[in-house]
Structure 1
Amino acid sequence: MNQQISSLALLRLAPLTLALVLAGCATSPALDLSSVPAAPSAFRAPTASAAVATQAPEAKAQGTWWKVFADPVLDQLVDQAGRNNNTVQVAAARLAQARAIARSTDADRSLQLGLGGGVVRQTDPNARNQPRTVVSAGANLSYEIDLFGKLSGASDAASLDAASREALLRSTRLLVQADVAQTYLSLRALDAERALVRDTLQAYRNTLRLTEVRFREGDIAELDVARVRTEVASTETEALALDRRRAQTEHALAVLVGEQPSSFQLSPAAWASALPLIPAGVPSTVLERRPDIAAAQNSLQAAQARVGVAKAAWFPSFSLTASGGWAAPEIQDLFKMSTRVWGVAALLSLPLLDGGRREAGVQNANAELDIAMANYREQILVAFRDVEDQLSTLKLLDEQSDAQSRSVAASSRATVLSDSRYRNGLVSQLELLDAQRNELRNRRQALQVRAAQYLATVGLIRALGGGWA
């Protein structure tokens, strides 16, 4: 007797046991993270030394990292770009789209209720196929039991897609902020270089006037005048080339902040931005805040969830439906008690032959998971490369700045000595012009190295995810 009861209990539990076994088969596969690059304890290249950088207030402020440059104009431009930049707006719209898809996907797990009504003219077999009219009105109720996790898996995947889009929006904002900062700093560097070249041009013009006077008085040959005129024309060409570069840079900045290039204008000003010091020994764990890595991780998890959804397509679908309302031959009788109709059903659906569609769906989901894993590994490697690139660039620029400073000092001293010797008639004007030309070249190179330090600092902050605290 007890054996019969046990057998009966096992028979009753068999469907539940089978459902649990099938549900276990439909779960998403575990991620193999052994191939993901491990984070080093610290970066290889040291950061810039304090000899070429100044610690700015709020240097650790994440989210408003551009304030470390202590430049109100830059603050205004970044704020304007955050509101008007078209790339940011596209990323925000894609996030809204992903969230709407997530809500739509999650709605499949909810109770579905609808109202309906109609008028049908048809023949009645019970009345010798005489035509009759049936007026109906009612409600339909349906609910799919998510026994194997197909609906919940699809909802989780859509939510992870939305999270990935949110991270991509943060990444886009960071990229635009960095582009604005680098473009603005390049503009200020061009202003400084233009001022230097134009000051030199004015000095050459003054020299030309004196040289022409001396030539008319017969003190020097025409060759000296021709040499100075050549130097004036050459420097004018360089000044115009810098004007062209500044105009193009200003137009690029206008697009970044969402304005018409023809109406946007940023007047030349002194380059007074602070150069922040990023302290040495920044841990590699700061890369966890990089939004592009977070986006890749969410995409990986979404692909993992979709593998489970694809596997769940092999298993039955269970739905409960109910309907209720009224049906009558005349509209005035529609809502009488005698015309009420209702129905309740439990539906099971299990496709048997689909030409390999479900197997192809599982294979496609696994391939998407492999792609997402490769993208995740690549994004991590790119992140480490970005940081190491900028760190090594700052280190070498530090050394280059020291060497360039010595070069500027030496060329400036050479110009002073050549001018003294020329005035005393010991050397020709050619030697003086050559010394002045070398000094101008070295001073311009020093400005370019300084600009590269600013741009590399912005690049490093972006590579670290917008901060280093």
Structure 2
Amino acid sequence: MRRLLAVRLEATRRLLAALPILTVAAGCSLAPTYQRPDLNVPTAFKEATAASPTDNGTRGAEMMPAETGSWKVAQPAEEAPRGEWWKIFNDPALDDLEQQAGDANQDLKGASARVEQARALNQTVRSQRFPTVGAGFGPTLERQSPASLFFPDDQEVPRQTLWRAQATASYEVDLFGRVSDSVQASNANTAQSEALLRSVRLALQADVAQNYFNLRELDAEISVYRDTVRLREQTLDLVQLRYQEGDISELDVARSRSELSTARSDEMTVERLRVASEHSLAVLLGKAPSAFSMQPSPLTPVTIEVPPGLPSSLLERRPDVAAAEYAMQAANARIGVAKSAYFPSLLLTGTAGFESATIGDLFNWSTRVFLLGPLAGTALAIPIFDGGRRKGNLANARAVYEEDVATYRQQVLVAFREVEDSLADLRILKAQTQTQSEAVRSSTRAAQLSQTQYAEGAVNYLDVIDSQRTVLQSQLAQVQLSGTQVVSTVHLIRALGGGWGNSVTPATGPQ
């Protein structure tokens, strides 16, 4: 037994003597040096300073002032506070809805849970940096071979029951960076989950604002239809009076009643859309539709000037772009993990405790035992042949990285497109809204004149109908343009990655 212990101690001594050489490679990462992929990023947004020609040949004013300054390299800033950007609309009702959504939205809670999952998995991976320590107690029945005890082959070795109370420890030396690269990949995955949470939160905030303004736009349309219904009721009274006096035929009365019924039906259609919009907003707030309602409040036109800044700042602020880059970083680190499989791995193990033939003597000082090195097998394992498994894993890791690079570049392009779309919408909508306001004024005046002339018998009723229809269409278009303008502003803020302090010109919104 002593000779066996001496042999094991000698083997352990030789292994420990080689550790300084082996630990030189410990922690050396085999992953490629990470670099952000080259991007063909413009130095300024095209639509930021664009001007659109008006109908009279003049040039429109700039809609979106760009931040001054020169081009700079993007630095990660997706964790920067986004602020309560919706407060620039100066609408207390919207402020309250955003608060409710942040507290109770289920998609946001799910994204938060995914972050907790990623952090838990990260803790599991990081645990590989530390030794594993355990303890055990119990009996074993064993019979050793004569050769293991250096006895003659015909020596009879009796079976024996041994009681053991031992502590065990094992530790993998991080040769060639397998553990460190795994931890780096896990850290990147955790950061990706956190960036996706910020992206979900920003999307939720924008969706709540968009649904809220859509609801207010429908309220404004209902108000227009109700005014139209009242006007056509008055027109019907006038037509009936003239019919009773014998000035017109019954045809004009039928036409007037048809126009009135059509306006009432269109109003009901918008009311139906409003109910559905209200239900959608309730779900965003984490509430059952039956437990949520909003009082009608027509949309007040809102104009906010949002500075888009430099394109490089977009790469810093967008959480979805940051998430795509973290995915690249994780994939890059996993290339190092796949490469490390080609090199030796070193596992240090040891046990210490008490061992006795009887439980009564188990904890005597004379029963203490220890073992350094693996109980079976080898501490230093060198891969030789695996049928191409490591080669396939490495090729897969590199392909995943290339896929993530393409995904990142595509996400950047989408981000630029969304900003340019929103800037173009707002630039054109500004001029279009002004033109539509003039159309409303002109159509309203024409309707008033036709109504007066019809009362005097100068025009027929078809002229009145046409003028009233034109007024209704112009007013609806004006309301819809106002809704589109404020929703486009929300889209631009979302495309830019959220709020940014005091860079936005406050608007005078509904009180």
Global fold match (TM > 0.5): yes
Partner of 1:396: 428
Q: 1:344 to 1:129 in 2, by over 3 A?
A: closer
Aligned to 1:101: 121
Say if 2:25 and 2:176, in contact at 8 Å, map to a contact too: no
Task: From 79, 86, 98, give the equivalent of 2:106.
Answer: 86
Within the candidate set 219, 223, 228, 1:200 is matched to 228
User: What is the alpha-carbon distance in structure 2 between the residues aligned to residue 130 and residue 344 of structure 1?
Assistant: 26
Distance 1:42 1:166 in 2: 29
Deviates more, 1:269-278 or 1:152-161: 269-278
For 1:297 and 1:362, how far apart are their aligned partners in 2?
Answer: 21
Greater helix percent: which structure? 1
Q: Does 1:142 align with 2:183?
A: no
1:46 alignment counterpart? 48
Alignment pair present for 1:429 and 2:461 = yes
Q: Which residue of 2 aligns with 1:285?
A: 312
TM-fit CA distance, 1:17 = 7.8
CA shift for structure 1 position 290: 0.7
User: Separation in 2 of the partners of 1:147 and 1:178?
Assistant: 48
Tell me the TM-score normalised to structure 2 length: 0.82
Instruction: Supply the AA of the counterpart residue of 2:95.
Output: D
C-alpha displacement at 1:31, in angstroms?
Answer: 4.6
Q: What is the aligned residue count?
A: 447
Give the whole-Å Cα distance in 2 for the aligned partners of 1:52 and 1:424. Answer: 47
Counterpart residue type for residue 267 of structure 1: Q
1:221: how far off? 1.2
State percent identity of aligned pairs: 42
Tell me the secondary structure at the aligned position of residue 276 of structure 1.
coil
Counterpart of 1:191 (choices 211, 219, 233) is 219
Hey, what does 2:195 align to over in structure 1? 167
Shift of 1:46: 2.8
Please, which of 348, 360, 376 is the counterpart of residue 380 of structure 2?
Answer: 348
Tell me the distance in 2 between the aligned counterparts of 1:15 and 1:200: 90
1:213-228 matched pairs, under 5 angstroms? 213-228=241-256
Separation in structure 1 between the aligned mates of residue 63 and residue 395 of structure 2, nearest angstrom? 56
After TM superposition, give the deviation of residue 50 of structure 1 in Å. Answer: 8.2
Residue 424 of structure 1: how far off its partner (Å) = 1.5
Give, as a single letter, the amino acid of the residue that structure 2 aligns with 1:182: Q
Give the SS at the match of 1:220. coil
User: Which one-letter code corresponds to 1:30 in the other structure?
Assistant: T
CA deviation digits over 1:129-165, x for unaligned, max 9? 6553221111001111112110000001000100011
1:58 match: none
* Range that drifts further, 189-198 or 323-332: 323-332
Cα offsets for 1:419-453 (capped at 9, x unmatched): 12112210012211210110011010011011110
Is the counterpart of residue 111 in structure 1 residue 135 in structure 2? no
Write the letter of the residue equivalent to 1:366.
R
User: 1:226, 1:192 → 2: CA distance?
Assistant: 29
2:478 aligns to what? 446
Contact 1:50 / 1:277 at 8 angstroms: preserved in 2?
A: no
CA distance in structure 2 between the partners assigned to 1:162 and 1:183 by the alignment:
31
Aligned to 1:416: 448
Shift in CA distance, 284/418, structure 1 to aligned 2, threshold 3 Å: same
Aligned-partner SS, 2:371: strand
SS of 1:45's partner is helix
Q: CA 1:123 to 1:284, structure 2 compared with 1: closer, same or farther past 3 Å? A: closer
**Cα distance in structure 1, aligned partners of 2:294 and 2:320:** 32
Residues 291, 391 of structure 1: alpha-carbon distance in 2 compared, 3 angstrom cutoff: same
Query: Structure 1: how far apart are the matches of 2:296 and 2:274?
Result: 10
**Aligned partners of 2:299 and 2:483 also within 8 Å:** no
Deviation at 1:358, TM superposition (A): 0.8
Alignment of 1:197-276 (within 5 A): 197-272=225-300, 274-276=302-304
Residue aligning to 2:340: 312
Any idea what SS the aligned residue of 1:258 has? Answer: coil
1:292 offset after TM fit, Å?
0.7
Could you list the runs of 5+ residues in structure 2 that have no partner in the other structure? Answer: 1-16, 52-59, 65-80, 147-154, 504-511
Residue 7 (structure 1) aligns with? none
**How far apart are the structure 1 equivalents of 2:303 and 2:433?**
14
Q: In the TM superposition, what whole-angstrom CA distance separates every residue of 1:225-279 from its partner, at most 9, and x where no partner exists?
A: 1000110111111101100110111011001110001111011014247432214
3-state DSSP of counterpart to 2:411: helix
Query: What value does the CA root-mean-square deviation take over the aligned residues?
Result: 2.5
How far off is 1:21 after superposition?
7.9
Mapped to 1, the partners of 2:301 and 2:446 lie a distance apart of 31
Q: Deviations over 1:290-327 (max 9, x none)?
A: 11111111111111111011101111111221110112
The answer to whether the 8 A contact 1:136-1:334 is kept is yes
**Which residue does 1:336 correspond to in 2?**
364
Aligned in 2, Cα 1:412/1:273: closer, same or farther, shift over 3 Å?
closer
1:114–1:140 contact (8 Å) kept in structure 2: yes
Contact 1:71 1:274 in 2 (8 A): no
Distance of aligned partners of 1:176 and 1:45 in 2 relative to their CA distance in 1, 3 Å threshold = same
Q: CA deviation at 1:214?
A: 3.5
Q: Give, in whole Å, the separation in 2 of the partners of 1:206 and 1:421.
A: 15
Give the deviation of 1:41 after TM superposition: 1.7
Contact 2:301-2:482 within 8 A present in 1 as well = no
Q: Does the CA contact (< 8 Å) of 1:418 and 1:432 recur in 2?
A: yes
Amino acid at match of 1:27: L
Match of residue 12 from structure 2: none
Within 2, Cα distance between the matches of 1:132 and 1:19? 41
Contact residue 120 and residue 135 of structure 1 kept, 8 A: yes
Matched, 1:30 2:33: yes
SS in structure 1 at match of 2:395: helix
Mark the CA change 1:51 to 1:296 in structure 2 (over 3 Å): closer, same or farther: closer
Give the unaligned 5+ runs of structure 1: 1-12, 54-60
Partner of 1:6: none
Contact 1:153–1:305 (Cα < 8 Å) also in 2: yes
